[in-house]
Amino acid sequence: MHANIVLLPGDGIGPEVLAEGARVLTAVAEKFGHQFSMASFPIGGCAIDEFGTALPDQTLAAARDSQAILLGAVGGPKWDDPSAKTRPEAGLLKIRKELGLFANLRPISVLPELVQFSPLKPEIVNGVDILFFRELTGGLYFGESGTRPAKDGSGEESFSTMIYSTGEVERIVRLAAQAARKRRNKVTSVDKANVLEVSRLWRKTFERVMKSEFPDVTYENVLVDAAAMHLISKPKSFDVVVTENMFGDILTDEGSMLPGSMGLLPSASLGSSGPGLYEPIHGSAPDIAGQGIANPLATILAVAMLLRHSLQLETEAALVEAAVQKVLQAGHRTKDLAGNGPWVKTQAMGDLVIAALA
Ligand code: IPM
Ligand code: MN
């Protein structure tokens, strides 16, 4: 097949891990006779430096025209000035919104050979396999917000609002429930319906869709504070989790600590049509950038998600995942996973995965 893939390396370790993801794509194309055309465009802090905006028009246009987008990471201390007109993160939020990428899939599983890296007891994390569906284009991130003179006379007051429509809840719930059917057939919806009106609409809609369209799928509601606790005390109780944007942001960072390293977790952001966006869930890690020691495996696993969800290449996707597992089972580690043991650099890890594809 022929596919047009846009690469958005971004900032910090983004370019280093993305280079390995691109090499894996090339290796897959060679092995299976596909043609992937890949071109890089700026996003984030480097785009602010060069073009004065975190998402230049040509980047957005190329992304719209593609079948899939692979992103490294954005941000860094250089652009952290709170008085700055624009921030690297704005580029990410804008591309999500512009491309209608409302569903953010974040799988969290713990490989047996890495259980030792978890801060939790092995018997709690062994066998954890959760798929988060985080709503990505609504809620607090995109609701009405503003700043005005404070009512108490103390200066200013600011507000951000959480808004969800029935349709926004229905579409993410449907994707979550469909995914559950292919897994362990259970969906947990996380909300704060004991306090927030918006959560009560969320819960009502979730229950209606599950009862009427997915009578074969088990479901439950869990309040977000309890969910934060259960993620640590009994993570194996979760299969598919569906939740609003900010709850999902927080819970998936918490969940990423179950395997003990963010360096292994990919994510996919999907809309109802058009290209999907794939990225590691870790950030730009400016403290280790440029040293060739970042872990490229989360990006390589994001490549597997890209092959599966945007290009419908399931065999290729499964092969990439198996290659990563093989390399880890053989004992190869990047610095973040090595403890006091030996480790390989970013590019060498890419080489090992590519060799394991054969
Ligand atoms: C994430 C990140 C982003 C978010 C930031 C960088 C805007 O934390 O993808 O989880 O909050 O969505
Ligand atoms: Mn986050």
Phi, psi dihedrals of residue 156, rounded to the nearest 5°: -105, 165
| 249: annotated active-site residue | yes
Of 209, 242, 257, which residue is a domain's last?
Answer: 257
Length of the chain: 358
Residue 297: which CATH number? 3.40.718.10
Which of 222, 232, 228, 235 lies closest to 191 in space, CA to CA? Answer: 222
The reply to whether ligand 1 has any atom less than 6 angstroms from the CB of 277 is: no
pLDDT means over runs of 10, the chain (358 residues): 98 98 98 98 98 98 98 96 91 98 96 88 96 98 97 97 98 98 98 98 98 98 98 98 98 92 92 97 95 97 98 98 96 92 97 97
The reply to whether ligand 1 has any atom less than 6 angstroms from the CB of 89 is: yes
CB 269 within 8 A of CB 106: no
Question: Which one of the listed residues 11, 141, 278, 336 is annotated catalytic?
Answer: 141
The reported pLDDT for the residue numbered 114 is 86
> Does residue 118 sit within a domain?
no
Q: Are strands 103-109 and 129-135 parallel, antiparallel or unpaired?
A: antiparallel
> Does residue 121 sit within a domain?
no
> Does residue 117 sit within a domain?
no
Identity of the residue numbered 71: L
Of 239, 257, 275, which residue is a domain's last?
Answer: 257
Are residues 250 and 351 located together in one domain of the fold?
no
The reported pLDDT for the residue numbered 113 is 82
The reported pLDDT for the residue numbered 160 is 97
Question: Which one of the listed residues 192, 219, 239, 278 is annotated catalytic?
Answer: 192
The reported pLDDT for the residue numbered 124 is 96
Of 257, 288, 306, which residue is a domain's last?
Answer: 257
Residue 218: which CATH number? 3.40.50.2300
> Does residue 67 sit within a domain?
yes
Q: How far is CA 69 from the centre of its chain?
A: 13
| 253: annotated active-site residue | yes
**What is this structure's pTM?**
0.96
How many structural domains does the chain have?
Answer: 2
Phi, psi dihedrals of residue 135, rounded to the nearest 5°: -65, 135
Exposed/middle/buried for 104, CB within 10 Å: 0-12, 13-18, 19+? Answer: buried
Tell me which ligand sits closest to the C-alpha of residue 250.
2
> Does residue 113 sit within a domain?
no
Of all protein residues, the one whose alpha carbon is nearest to atom 1 of ligand 1 is 249
Which of 178, 173, 176, 93 lies closest to 140 in space, CA to CA? Answer: 93
Print the domain residue range for 196: 129-146+156-257
The reply to whether ligand 1 has any atom less than 6 angstroms from the CB of 249 is: yes
